[in-house]
Structure 1
C-alpha cells in the first residue's frame, strides 16, 4: 500500500512540530501519532525518501526515528525490503490485554479514598458519547483510549503513564485492521460511564472487578474479530 502525494502533503503540515532543532525523537513523536491515527496502516511500507522530504529531515535522522519506533514494536524492519508498520499477531493482542489487566487493575486497587480528580475521565466519556451521536466511530475508539490513559494517570506515576501509552499505541495497530469500529467500541461507552461512577463512589473492589470483566470481554471480542480478519488477509 503506497502513501499518496496528498497524504504526504498532510504529513508536511507537521513540519513545524520539529522546531528549530530537528531530532529523531521529535520525528518519532510525529510518526507515532500518525500511526496511532491510522494515517500509516499496518503492513504499509514507509518511504524514507518521501517522509524525509515531507518533514525536511536527513535520512540519518529518519532512520534513527524508525529505530526508536521499531524498539516500541510499532514498526518492523525487513531485510532488503524496508521498514513497515507492524502487523500484530493474535498472540500479541492477547498479551497486550494481559498487560493492560495487570496495569489498570493494579492502579484501581492502589487508589486512596475519594474524592479523586476525575475530570480527565469525565471528558473522555463525554467525547465518546458525542462522537457516537455524530457517527464518528474512530472518534469513539480514540475517546476509549483516552479513558484508559486517564484511568492509569490516577496513579500519578510518570513511568506507568509511559508504559500504558506504549501499550495502547501498539493496541491501536489491531484496531486499525478491524472493519467495523462501531461493533468494537460502542458497547463500552456505557461501561466507561459505569466505571467512572463506581470510582466516584469510592468502591475500589467493585470497580476493579468491573474493570477486569470489561477488559476480558474486550479481549475476547477483539481477538475473535482480529483473528478472522488476519486469516482472511493472509498477513499473519
Structure 2
C-alpha cells in the first residue's frame, strides 16, 4: 500500500489495525457513521492520517464512503456473508484437522473458551462474541501461516459486521459457547478430525442464522420505506 506524501505507511497501517480491532470487538457496528473530528482526537492523529486509514479499510470492504454523507461502517452483502463462510470452512476446518496436537495455539483455544464461559456467566454477551473471535483466530493459527493469519484478521472484522446485523448478541452467541467447548475438548483429546467435523456443522448452522438475520434486516428496511 502507498500512503499519501508525508504520512508513514506504518502509521496508517497501525491506525487501520486499531479501527479493525474496534470492529472485531463490536465497538463499531454496521451502518454506524464515523466522525473524523471525534476519531482523530480519540486516536491523537491528524485527519489526513485518519483519511488514509479510512481508504485502506474501504478497500477491504469494512468502511463505506458516500459523497456528501461521509464515512460509515459497511453493511455486509448477502454474497459477502456466503463467501465469508465458504472461506471459513476451507481454512478453519483444515487447520483444525491437520494441526500438530501440541501446537502452541492449543493454549489460545482453551483460553478463548474459558473467557467465553466467564463472560456468559457475567451476562457479557459482547465479551462472549469477542472471545469467539479469539477462538477462531487461534484455530487459524494452528496452520502456521502468517499469510493466513493476516488474511483471517481482515475476514474476522467482516464477520463481526455480519454478526452485528443480528443486533442481539445473546441470541447469536449463546448456542455456540458449549459448541466451542466441545470442539476444543475434542482437539485436546487428540481427535482433530472429529473436532473439524463438529466445527463444520457449527459453521453451517451459524451461516444460516446470520443469513436469516440479514433477510430480516432487508425486509424491515423495505417495510419502513
TM-score (norm 2): 0.87
**Residue 97 of structure 1: CA displacement?**
0.7
1:51 aligns with 2:39: yes
Greater RCO (Cα-Cα under 8 Å, separation 6 or more): 2
- 1:87-126, aligned counterparts within 5 Å? 87-112=75-100, 114-117=101-104, 118-126=106-114
Whether the 8 Å contact between 1:116 and 1:200 is mirrored in structure 2 is no
The residue number in structure 1 matching 2:6 is none
Match for residue 188 of structure 1 among 176, 182, 201: 176
Structure 2 unpaired stretches of 5+? 1-8
Aligned pairs, number = 214
The residue number in structure 2 matching 1:163 is 151
In 2, Cα distance between equivalents of 1:53 and 1:140:
29
The residue number in structure 2 matching 1:8 is none
In 2, Cα distance between equivalents of 1:102 and 1:161:
14
- 1:19-168, aligned counterparts within 5 Å? 23-112=11-100, 114-117=101-104, 118-168=106-156
The residue number in structure 2 matching 1:3 is none
Structure 1 unpaired stretches of 5+? 1-20
**Residue 22 of structure 1: CA displacement?**
8.5
Return closer, same or farther for 1:107/1:41 CA change in 2, 3 Å cut-off.
Answer: same
1:209 aligns with 2:183: no
**1:98-138: per-residue Cα shift (whole Å, max 9, x none)?**
111111012123224x2343211111111111111111111
Over the aligned positions, Cα root-mean-square deviation in angstroms equals: 2.0
**1:29-70: per-residue Cα shift (whole Å, max 9, x none)?**
222222333333221222223322333322221111101111
In 1, Cα distance between equivalents of 2:24 and 2:103:
29
| 102-111 vs 34-43, greater mean Cα deviation | 34-43
The residue number in structure 1 matching 2:187 is 199
Name the SS for the 1:84 alignment partner: strand
